[in-house]
């Protein structure tokens, strides 16, 4: 299929294995800040969204049904790797899959996002978040990851939603602009908040570990909406759980990426979660993000996804600007600052990949 160049990137448990995997993959090398030739690139939400071949295969059922079909999920994960030549694949799945799989009562509606019939409101709802049992509850995810490990030549990124972001859907019952119910539970009932975070940490840790054991070579934790919090609230009520989750994956031998949107004021804390890579959105320049994160972690980002809707000369100029703001640091992965927008022309994404590969050089450190 024209993308095969490297095989078992999985489970590098010893340092030497980790180094050899990283050496053969610009993406893994960049995660660890190791010297490599060129800037790696992939796109959040590259699987699906703007791809015509995705829309053809996807059908009209709930996305949760498509995700539960391991062969379909495998194919959709491969599509952007073939079309764009990106340096990493991201599993076709969703942050709501684990809570859906333990039976919380989640749907994902096209054009809306996650919708919860009976939102989380009091302590009795904790029981609806029983521990995840991967072999029984998400066998289809494990099967897709195993299929992909056999097919892929670039590392596969497994992922999960961070507890705050997942909790916001469970509590609000759907997407929100204000996070009013979530924040009110968090501030008014810290005991219940702690209990909810603990349950979600357990589920998330199991979910991430299962993906790596099945063959994922890197992990991304999406705390998409953490940027709605003040640094103080984030530090006290959310950061400890993210840190706990990252620590639980320390012994898996894969790099971890923590990403959020509007998290400019939280970048220093994101850098202290233990993750090797911190995601940056377009509101903060990469050189400034480098300062805020203390230069100790790799960065991923940060082209505004809306720029990709402009004509190519504009996209090219902005892509070059992002590369320039990185300034050849080897600890860098080119990406958008958030997911690909549905109307994006796939040809533009391909041109970005080619430009980053041609012009994105990194210095040996």
Q: Which residues in this chain contact ligand CP3 in the complex, by CB under 6 A?
A: 44-49, 58, 63, 90, 92-96, 108, 110-114, 159, 222, 224, 338-339
Minimum distance from CB of 191 to ligand CP3 (Å)? 26
Q: How far apart are CA 102 and CA 134, in angstroms?
A: 10
Closer to ligand CP3 by Cβ: residue 33 or 339: 339
Q: Which two tokens stand for residue 289?
A: 């993000």
Q: Report, as residue numbers or ranges, the catalytic residues.
A: 45, 49, 58, 94, 169
The residues near 159 (Cβ < 8 Å, ≥ 6 apart) are 90, 91, 93, 95, 211, 219, 220, 221, 222
In 10 A of CB 118, how many CB atoms? 11
Closer to ligand CP3 by Cβ: residue 93 or 326: 93
Minimum distance from CB of 275 to ligand CP3 (Å)? 16
Quick one: which H or E segment has residue 22? helix 15-24
Q: How far apart are CA 127 and CA 37, in angstroms?
A: 50
Q: Which two tokens stand for residue 59?
A: 């059908």
Closer to ligand CP3 by Cβ: residue 97 or 252: 97
In 10 A of CB 131, how many CB atoms? 11
Closer to ligand CP3 by Cβ: residue 110 or 291: 110
In 10 A of CB 213, how many CB atoms? 16
The residue whose Cβ lies closest to ligand CP3 is 48
Q: How far apart are CA 157 and CA 268, in angstroms?
A: 24
Closer to ligand CP3 by Cβ: residue 13 or 65: 65
Minimum distance from CB of 338 to ligand CP3 (Å)? 6
Minimum distance from CB of 136 to ligand CP3 (Å)? 23
């Amino acid at each position: 299929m024209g993308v095969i160049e490297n095989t078992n990137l999985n489970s590098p448990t010893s340092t030497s294995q980790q180094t050899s995997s990283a050496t053969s993959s610009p993406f893994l090398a960049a995660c660890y800040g190791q010297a490599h030739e060129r800037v790696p690139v992939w796109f959040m939400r590259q699987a699906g969204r703007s791809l015509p071949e995705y829309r053809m295969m996807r059908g009209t059922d709930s996305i949760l049904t498509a995700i539960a079909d391991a062969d379909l999920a495998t194919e959709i994960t491969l599509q952007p790797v073939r079309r764009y030549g990106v340096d990493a694949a991201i599993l076709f799945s969703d942050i709501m899959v684990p809570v859906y799989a333990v039976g919380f009562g989640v749907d994902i509606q096209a054009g809306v996002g996650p919708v919860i019939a009976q939102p989380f409101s009091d302590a009795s709802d904790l029981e609806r978040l029983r521990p995840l049992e991967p072999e029984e509850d998400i066998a289809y995810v494990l099967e897709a990851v195993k299929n992909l490990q056999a097919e892929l030549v670039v590392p596969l990124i497994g992922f999960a939603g961070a507890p705050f972001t997942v909790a916001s859907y469970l509590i609000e019952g759907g997407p929100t602009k204000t996070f009013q119910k979530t924040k009110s539970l968090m501030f008014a009932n810290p005991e219940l908040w702690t209990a909810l975070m603990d349950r979600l940490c357990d589920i998330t840790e199991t979910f991430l570990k299962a993906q790596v054991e099945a063959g994922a070579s890197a992990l991304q934790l999406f705390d998409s909406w953490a940027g709605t919090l003040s640094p103080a609230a984030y530090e006290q009520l959310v950061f400890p759980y993210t840190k706990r989750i990252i620590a639980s994956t320390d012994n898996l031998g894969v790099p971890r990426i923590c990403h959020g949107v509007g998290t400019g004021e939280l970048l220093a804390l994101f850098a202290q979660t233990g993750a090797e890579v911190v995601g940056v959105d377009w509101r903060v320049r990469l050189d400034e993000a480098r300062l805020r994160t203390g230069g100790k972690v790799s960065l991923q980002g940060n082209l505004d996804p809306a720029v990709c809707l402009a004509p190519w000369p504009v996209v090219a100029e902005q892509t070059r600007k992002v590369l320039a703001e990185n300034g050849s640091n080897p600890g860098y992965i080119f990406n958008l600052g958030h997911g690909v927008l549905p109307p994006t022309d796939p040809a533009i994404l391909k041109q970005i990949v080619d430009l980053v590969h041609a012009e994105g050089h990194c210095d040996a450190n």
